[in-house]
Amino acid sequence: MTGRIHSIDAARGLCLLNIFVNHITLGFSKEISFSKIGLSDAAEIFVLVSGVSTYLFYGTLQIEAMTRGLWKRAIRLYVVNAVVVLLTLILIISIDYMTGDRKIFDQDIVDVLQSNGVERSLWLIFSFQQGVGYSVVLKLYMYFMLLCPALIWLSSKMWWYALPPAVLIWAVAGQFDLVSRNSLTGEPFALTILPWTLIFTCGIALGAAIKQGVRVPQSRLLTALAFAYVLGYVVFVALIAPHWPAATDWFATRNDHFWLGGSKTYQSPLRLLHALSLVYLFISCPSAPLIRLLHQANPRNILCRMGRRSLPIFAFGAVVSVAADEALFAAHHFFGAKSLPSIAVELVFVALGIAVMIAIADRRWPFQRPSRVVAERPLSP
C-alpha cells in the first residue's frame, strides 16, 4: 500500500480546525477563518481529500476485501454518528430544562420532540431523516463508504471512469432539486448525498491518478486561471459587491440557485469550481507561501497528528460547537453580543476545544493508548 502522504494529513487537520471554528455560528472566530474569503469552504476540501485517501488505502485491495472494509467503516461511522446525536440531544434537552421558559438556540429541535413525540422523533433522527446538530456530516460519509466499492472499481480501470456518472448524478440532482429534507423541520440538509457525490468522486479520481502514475497537468495558464478565480472572488466580495446592487441580490439568493448560485446544499458549479481551483493550486504550487507549510509538514506536526485522527476529533468538535453556541446564545442575551463576557466565553470554548482535539490526536484521551509516529504507514479515510 502507498505510504502516508503527510501533506494530506496536514490539509485535513487544517480543515478540522476550520470546521470546528465555523460550527460555532454565533461567535466572532468564524469571521477570521479562511472560509469567510472563499466561495467554497473547508467542507468541500475535506470531502475531496477524504476521497483521495480512501482510494489510496482501499484501491489496491481485492473487491471482496475492499467492500468488507468500506462497509465496516460505514458501520463504524453510524455508531459514532449515533453517539454524536445522543450526546447532542442530551446536551440540548438538559440546557432547555435548566433554562425553564427562556428560549434556547436549538429551540427548533426541542419543539420538534415535544410536538411529534419522543419515539417518532428518535426514529427519524437515528434513521437519518432528521438532523441534529452536525450529525448530518457523518451521515454523508456513511453513504460515501457504501458507494465507494463501485466508485473505486470504476476508477481502478481508469482514473476518470467514475467521473461521468458522478457528474450526471450531480447535474440531475441540481437541476431537479433532488435534495433531501429534514422530515420534522422541513429544512434541506446542508450536505446531501446526490449533489456531494461529485466532489467526493473527484477525490477518488485524484487518488486513482496518483496510484496510476498520472501527473496533474502543470500549466502556467491553468495556475493563473485558478489563482485569478480564487483571488477574484475575494476582490468581488471585498470591493465590488458592497457597491453593486445586483451583487447584493446575488448574495441574498445564492443558496437558492444551482447553475449560477453558490449553494452549499446543491454544490453549485461556481462553488465546485472554486474548490477545485484551490486543490489545483495546492498541487501545482508546492513552494508557494502557506501551501509550502502543508507540503513540508512532518508527521509530528500538529496538523498531521490531527489529520490522522479525524473521526474522533470531528465527533468531539461537533458536540462542543453545539455547547458553545448555546453558551454564547445565553451570554448574548444577558451581556450583549460584543460584550467582554461573550468574547471570553467563546475564547474559552475555542481554546479548550482545540486543546482537547490535540489530546485526542495524541491519544492522550481516556482509554486510548499513546500513539507512535510512523513515517510511512497506510492511509485511512
* 145-188 residue pLDDT tens: 999 999 999 999 999 999 999 999 999 999 999 988 899 888 88
Report which of 168, 161, 155, 160 is spatially closest to residue 194, judged by C-alpha positions. Answer: 168
Q: Report which listed range, 103-112, 130-139, 164-173, 284-293, is most confident.
A: 164-173
pLDDT band (50, 70, 90) for residue 379: very low
199 belongs to a structural domain = yes
Report yes or no on 52 lying in a domain.
Answer: yes
Residue 209: per-residue pLDDT: 96
pLDDT of amino acid 374: 41
369 — pLDDT class (breaks 50, 70, 90): low
Looking at beta carbons, which pairs linking 58-62 to residues 24 or more positions away fall under 8 Å? 58/148, 58/152, 58/381, 59/152, 59/155, 59/156, 59/207, 59/208, 59/211, 60/1, 60/2, 60/211
pLDDT at 366 over 80: no
How many domains are contained in the chain?
1
Mean pLDDT of all residues in 210-218: 92
End-to-end Cα distance, the chain = 14
* pLDDT value at 365 more than 80: no
Instruction: For residue 106, tell me if it sits in a domain.
Output: yes
- Would residue 183 count as lying in a domain? yes
In a domain, 379, yes or no: no
C-alpha–C-alpha distance, residues 93 and 107, integer Å:
9
**Highest mean pLDDT out of 27-36, 186-195, 219-228:** 219-228
Residue 181 β-bridge partners: 188
Q: Return the pLDDT at 367.
A: 45
Longest dimension (CA), the chain: 62
* pLDDT (0 to 100) of residue 341: 96
Domain with 19 in it: 6-209+220-361
**Residue 256 pLDDT class (50, 70, 90 cuts):** confident
Rounded CA separation 89/107 (Å): 12
Which residue's entry shows cell 440557485? 257
> Average pLDDT over the chain, rounded to whole?
91
* Structural domain includes residue 271: yes
φ, ψ at 251 (rounded to 5°): -60, -35
CB 360 within 8 A of CB 312: yes
In angstroms, what CA-CA distances link 277 with 81, 184, 285?
31, 37, 12
Question: Is residue 337 domain-resident?
Answer: yes
| pLDDT value at residue 1 | 40
Is 369 among the domain residues? no
List phi, psi (to 5°) of 188: -65, 145
